Amino acid sequence: MQIPLINLKRQHQALQPEIEAAVLQVLAGAQYIMGQNVTAFEKEFADYIGVKHAIAVGNGTDALVIALESLGIGPGDEVITTPFTFFATAESISAVGATPVFVDVRLDTYNINENQIEAKINSKTRAIMPVHIFGQPCEMDKINAIAAKHNLHVIEDACQAVSAEYKGKKAGALADIACFSFFPTKNLGCAGDGGMITTDNDRLADICRALRIHGSGEAGEKAYNLLNNIDVSTTDNQDGDHTVYNPSKYYNYLIGHNSRLDELQAAILRIKLKKLDECQKQRQDHARYYNEALQETDLVRPAAMDNIRHAYHLYILQSENRAAITRYLNSKGVATGIYYPIPLHLQKAYTDLGYQLGDLPQVEYLSHRTFAIPVFPELSAEEREYIAAALTEASNVKKT
């Protein structure tokens, strides 16, 4: 049996008729940029998350960069974050000229250790960027309380956590501003790149809308007036055909980005959003099965925290013998993934920050132990039984 870590072909086949019809409709309408599907998807996503504003952008990294810029974070500033995440988290901080400051993680959730954040705060600190890694929300009450005490912003990196919940609220509605990725392998993924910014803050939303389109047009003028305390009423009209000719885009008010969610991707995401909760239930069912089936092994299973709904973007196990176990699984046709082999503070790109091996012991420990197994929604009962059996065999082989 051959089982991939994520099966995008199977996912597409289940939705193929709907997706093809939606894509053909967009192509026939010939409105490809900032069209009706983007506008509708923003509204639908905001409603799903439970926020006032959702601003679609080109990808998750751009979402983080634009969110930071909307808060005025730049050169000379520091942003506290986790070293156990995809590189884009810290890269976005560096991209705006600020410095990432890494805090060690918890061994149970793999998230930033909220109890170590305050010790890293100084006069340069402007924000905290927690990452809901693998789909499990951070301890946001504690993080928000620390931020409020020190007058800091909080930016959720929710790129792996769409549909996750913390004390009854969705990830993406737990801080000043939040960011999502719709990379194809995400729980809500498009057929290319895509991202979203969510917030309840009107001012931040207006600035983000301007920054994604070169700081131009009515959105740019509105953001410029906000940033410069100019009390002039302006609108942010997104209607009309932005594909062939939009005269307002030739009037620029801010230095921004070219970061728009493609109309074709928005049409696909609208279909997938309607199926998201159903898919998440399947992920959670798979996770429950693994949790029970692997009880007799010495593999460390994902922690189940109180008052939290895990999105299970990835199902992560720990083992002292990761290399031997993953080799065995691969020999049985079960794909695995190593998340993450090198913590960000030890990446070559961040040599200049001066971190040394041993500075953040928990994340360094995890980087040699953690690995992912398939948990995609379309996984069959037979496949997950096969995976659990192979893991049990691998654990026993390792012991002998």
pLDDT bucket at 399, cuts 50 / 70 / 90: low
Could you tell me the fold of the domain covering 8-264?
Aspartate Aminotransferase; domain 2 (3.40.640)
In this prediction, residues 139-166 reach a mean pLDDT of: 98
In this prediction, residues 310-332 reach a mean pLDDT of: 97
pLDDT bucket at 243, cuts 50 / 70 / 90: confident
pLDDT for the residue 246: 74
In this prediction, residues 175-182 reach a mean pLDDT of: 98
Contacts of 117-121 spanning 24+ positions with Cβ under 8 A: 117/80, 117/143, 117/146, 118/146, 118/150, 120/80, 121/80, 121/146, 121/150, 121/152
pLDDT bucket at 117, cuts 50 / 70 / 90: very high
74-101 residue pLDDT tens? 999 999 999 999 999 999 999 999 999 9
Closest CA to 39 of 276, 277, 260, 275: 260
pLDDT for the residue 240: 52
Q: Give kind and range of the element (H or E) at residue 204.
A: helix 202-211
In this prediction, residues 322-349 reach a mean pLDDT of: 97
Closest CA to 44 of 270, 293, 229: 270
Could you tell me the fold of the domain covering 276-399?
Aspartate Aminotransferase, domain 1 (3.90.1150)
pLDDT bucket at 400, cuts 50 / 70 / 90: very low
Whole-number Å distance between alpha carbons of 174 and 170: 7
How much of the chain exceeds pLDDT 90, in percent? 92
Domain with CATH 3.40.640.10 in the chain: 8-264
Contact 143, 128 (CB under 8 A): yes
pLDDT for the residue 237: 60
Q: Give kind and range of the element (H or E) at residue 13.
A: helix 8-29
In this prediction, residues 376-392 reach a mean pLDDT of: 97
Domain with CATH 3.90.1150.10 in the chain: 276-399
Minimum mean pLDDT among 183-187, 201-205, 222-226, 385-389: which range?
222-226
Strands 153-157 and 125-129: parallel
The answer, yes or no, to whether residue 341 has pLDDT greater than 50, is yes
Strands 195-199 and 177-181: antiparallel
Closest CA to 136 of 277, 305, 356: 305
Contact 82, 343 (CB under 8 A): no
In this prediction, residues 144-153 reach a mean pLDDT of: 98
